[in-house]
Amino acid sequence: MKIIAQQWRDAVVEPVLKDIGLHSEAAVRLLLGTIAAESGFKLILQLGNGPARSLFQIEPFTMYDVLSRTIHRYPKIYAGVMRWEVENQPWEDQLAWNMAFATCVARLKYYLDPERLPNAGDIIALSHVYKRVYNSNKGASSAEQFLECYNRLVGHD
């Protein structure tokens, strides 16, 4: 595994997902691949003054949608996510600088999808989940881009 992706896995993604009760190897790989495809582990603000924030490139509308659906359906998980937010700071801003909060929001986006995650070792299937759930049909990215970025920036264990 590449060093930057390994650090993200060890220091942010795994501890946060374990804390909120949404950890699985498939979820970890999906989130690392999402970062790779969305920002290349480099961008925390969308280029061209777009609204997306964080390495996950989450738009504020998406964040509010995900959090509002979670509070009603999964209040215990929502409470766990709120342990990671910083009080009295706008959530939109926190997407850029609060890595744990952004990780929670990205994980919730996938968690709210009714389909189960594929096997963790099936990166091709994970790439299709990324496109279907996270990047949608209107998004600029593709399952192929996810796969290429995952292989180049994350690699295999």
Q: How far apart are CA 12 and CA 28, in angstroms?
A: 10
Burial class from Cβ neighbours inside 10 Å (0-12, 13-18, 19+) for residue 114 reads exposed
Task: For residue range 16-57, list pLDDT tens digits in order.
Answer: 999 999 999 999 999 999 999 999 999 999 999 899 999 999
Task: For residue range 82-112, list pLDDT tens digits in order.
Answer: 999 999 999 999 999 999 999 999 999 999 9
Give the pTM: 0.95
- Count of domains forming the chain: 1
Domain that holds residue 57: 3-154
Q: Choose among 154, 155, 157: nearest CA to 41.
A: 154
- Structure tokens belonging to residue 122: 């099936």
